[in-house]
Amino acid sequence: MYEQEAALQLEDPMPPLEFEQETMLHADTQTLDVPFEAEELELASQLRDSIAAEIWNDYIRDYSTI
C-alpha cells in the first residue's frame, strides 16, 4: 500500500513550463471588454492607496517594537 501511495505522490501536478509561458503571453495580449468609468478608476486607486498605507503603517508599527 505504501508503494502505491508513493507512486501517486511522485506524479507532477504542475503543467510544463512551456504551457505556463504560453498562457502568460496570451493573457498579456488580451484586452478587457469591460469599460470603466473615470470615477470607478479613481475609487479603486484610492482604495488601493489606503490599503497600501495601512499595510505600511502596520509594518512600521511592528518594526519599531523590535
pLDDT tens profile 27-51: 555 566 778 899 999 999 999 999 9
Q: What is the DSSP string of the chain?
A: -HHHHHHHHHS--SPPHHHHHHHHHHHHH--------HHHHHHHHHHHHHHHHHHHHHHHHHHHT-
- Between 8 and 18, the more confident residue is 18
- Between 29 and 53, the more confident residue is 53
pTM here is 0.45
